[in-house]
A and B are shown apart, each in its own frame.
Chain A
């Protein structure tokens, strides 16, 4: 099972920041938090990952709480093309090694 929980859907106005929360209260000390998104009918796309410190790249920023039990993905200026399902992932260790298990994700609607 996925080790993360996310709200099922969120709305955001075009041009505004989209803040997508994720809870991962059982994360272990050396596990990264990864974010992917999936635009309709396409394969998932990697966005960003982090361990403890906040991270920023050309797509988004990732804010991880000090206790690492939750994080927030920030799209600073959302556009209509950012409408997608956003997945927050913490790897699961199983027989045979690490597994990337997708939870239900958050469906983000960016509205004009």
Chain B
């Protein structure tokens, strides 16, 4: 199994809603990542988890809250988002942070209304 599975594929939420994005991998990878991608732009790194601990936060606003409940799962909790947060959110995993051969999920397309 070389897949990174993200759910949901599409999400529409209001600015007062709380929602969560989920990411799962069963490759035994110990590093997991969240990226944000706006239309026609490259993915932007948000968070890096290594061995279930947050190792990098790229100065992401606190309305985005990551969580790594175990080595296979990565969540991104969303609260009080703004319309400009609408984007494709990509999850990725790799064997370790030292290895950049990462596997990406297909992303969650988020629309904030």
Contact = CB atoms under 8 A, between A and B. Distances in A.
Interface of A: 2, 32, 34, 38, 42-46, 49, 85, 87, 89, 91, 94-105
Contacts of A103: 42
A96 B48 contact: yes
B109 to A, nearest CB: 8
B97 A97 contact: yes
A91 B100 contact: yes
Contacts of B105: 43
A100 B90 contact: no
A104 B42 contact: yes
Interface footprint category on B: 20 to 34
A95 B54 CA distance: 12
Contact of B102 (A46, A85, A96, A97): A46
B100 A43 contact: no
B92 interface: yes
A46 B100 CA distance: 9
A36 B1 CA distance: 20
B48 A101 contact: no
Nearest to B45: A99
Contacts, number: 60
A102 B43 contact: yes
Interface of B: 4, 33, 35, 42-45, 48, 50, 55-58, 90, 92, 97-98, 100-107
B42 A102 contact: yes
Contact of B42 (A87, A95, A96): A87
- Please provide the 9 A-B residue pairs with the shortest distance between their CB atoms, ordered closest to farther: A43-B104, A102-B42, A96-B56, A96-B55, A44-B104, A34-B100, A102-B43, A100-B100, A43-B106
B90 A44 contact: yes
Nearest to B90: A43
B50 A100 contact: no
Contacts of A101: 45
A32 B105 CA distance: 23
23 contacts: A34-B101, A38-B43, A43-B4, A43-B105, A44-B43, A44-B90, A44-B104, A45-B104, A87-B42, A91-B100, A96-B48, A96-B55, A97-B48, A97-B50, A98-B98, A99-B45, A99-B56, A100-B33, A100-B100, A100-B102, A102-B42, A102-B43, A105-B42
